[in-house]
């Protein structure tokens, strides 16, 4: 974990209610896992805003070529309800943002994985390009991106993925039986639906099958386990999302308790 200064370069609308942000770090960063996060100070030094977690991903043109200094972040309109992220939406180009990271544990993909399913809640926004570095460089990997979306996917987003990646908005039973690894990004209701469907076709999701990102976990203010405010219930007891997560095994999380929080 190290301090880093991010310079905001540009913001581009990539869907009716979704934007892609481009940042350049003050120095090239070594590899980190998708799902790890950076805590960024939003607002000026006199603001009372707590730092916000930013789930950064290397830009397409540099994905896989670590170390890199150019990163992207996708956010949707729902993030405007957060004051700190709303400030980020209003930043002018060249604004410098103080951050530190990477923090937490991200997604990992065993070398033996052959069939990967990636369910994503498209409306959440941040998952659209976050995990691409896990599979875009592995052409021998069979990948299906299953977006849950109320509307057709914008062609501009579909074109961003390589030809060997299947993209669908239909999560059929066959697709749930097919993978030997699942990585998912969404909210708690999204994960509850995914777990219920997996349980229906696989009896129970086996430990290690599905990894999920708790993007809504309260990863601030400290990000290093000191405050204890990000504790989440697991089969092994409470775990701190900023240290043991924010990526967790779907089979070990108590989603019902999380849904009531």
What pLDDT score does 65 carry?
73
What pLDDT score does 47 carry?
58
What pLDDT score does 46 carry?
52
Whether pLDDT at 62 is above 70: no
Whether pLDDT at 95 is above 90: yes
CA 41 to chain centre: 19
For residues 120 and 204, the model is more confident at 120
What pLDDT score does 137 carry?
65
Q: Any bridge partners for residue 172, and if so which?
A: none
For residues 107 and 227, the model is more confident at 107
For residues 207 and 32, the model is more confident at 32
Q: How far apart are CA 217 and CA 200, in angstroms?
A: 27
Give the range with max mean pLDDT: 46-60, 74-88, 183-197: 183-197
For the record, the structure tokens of 233 come out as 């219930």
Contact 39, 52 (CB under 8 A): yes
Long-range contacts of 111-114 (CB under 8 A, 24+ apart): 112/180, 113/141, 113/180, 113/181, 114/140, 114/141, 114/142, 114/180
Lowest mean pLDDT among 59-63, 87-91, 106-110, 226-230: 59-63
What are the CA-CA distances from residue 58 to residues 22, 48, 253 (Å)? 10, 30, 29
**pLDDT band at residue 81 using 50, 70 and 90 as cut-offs:** confident
Tens of pLDDT, residues 125-181? 777 788 887 777 677 889 999 998 888 888 888 888 888 889 999 888 889 999 999
Print the SS3 string covering the chain: CEEEEEEEEEEEEEECCEEEEEEEEEEEECCCCECEEEEECCCCCCCCCCCEEECCEECHHHCCCCCEEEEEEEEEHHHHHCHHHHHHHCCCCCCEEEEEEEECECCCCCCCCCEEEEEEEHHHCCCCCCCHHHCCCCCCCEEEEEEECCCCCCHHHHCCCCCCEEEECCCCHHHHHCCCEEEEEECHHHHHHHHHHHHHHHCCCCCCCEEEEECCCCCCCCCCCCCCCCEEEECCEEEECCCCCEEEEHHHECHHHHHHC
pLDDT (mean) for 52-68: 78
What pLDDT score does 56 carry?
93
Tens of pLDDT, residues 168-227? 998 888 899 999 999 999 988 999 999 999 988 876 667 889 999 987 766 666 777 778
What pLDDT score does 60 carry?
65
For residues 149 and 5, the model is more confident at 5
Percent of the chain with pLDDT over 90: 37
Domains of the chain and any CATH numbers: 2-103 (2.40.30.10), 115-260 (3.40.50.720)
Whether pLDDT at 50 is above 80: no
What pLDDT score does 261 carry?
64
pLDDT (mean) for 237-257: 87
């Amino acid at each position: 974990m190290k301090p880093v200064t991010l310079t905001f370069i540009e913001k581009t609308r990539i869907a009716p209610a979704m934007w892609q942000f481009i940042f350049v770090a003050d120095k090239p960063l070594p590899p980190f896992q998708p799902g790890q996060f950076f805590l960024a100070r939003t607002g000026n030094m006199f603001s009372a805003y707590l730092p916000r977690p930013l789930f950064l991903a290397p830009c397409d043109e540099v994905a896989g070529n670590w170390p890199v200094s150019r990163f992207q972040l996708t956010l949707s309109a729902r993030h405007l309800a957060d004051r700190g992220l709303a400030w980020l939406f209003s930043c002018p180009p060249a604004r410098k943002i103080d951050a530190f990271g990477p923090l937490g544990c991200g997604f990992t993909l065993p070398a033996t994985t052959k069939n990967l399913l990636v369910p994503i809640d498209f409306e959440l926004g941040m998952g659209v390009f976050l995990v691409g570095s896990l599979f875009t460089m592995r052409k021998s990997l069979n990948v299906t991106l299953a977006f849950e979306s109320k509307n057709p996917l914008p062609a501009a987003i579909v074109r961003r993925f390589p030809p060997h990646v299947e993209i669908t908005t239909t999560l059929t039973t066959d697709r749930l039986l097919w993978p030997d690894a699942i990585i998912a990004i969404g909210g708690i209701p999204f994960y509850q639906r995914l777990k219920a469907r997996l349980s229906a076709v696989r009896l129970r999701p086996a430990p290690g099958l599905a990894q999920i990102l708790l993007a809504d976990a309260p990863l601030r203010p400290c990000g290093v386990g000191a405050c204890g405010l990000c504790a989440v219930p697991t089969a092994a007891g409470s775990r701190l999302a900023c240290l043991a997560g924010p990526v967790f095994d779907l089979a070990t999380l108590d989603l019902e308790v999380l849904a009531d929080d």
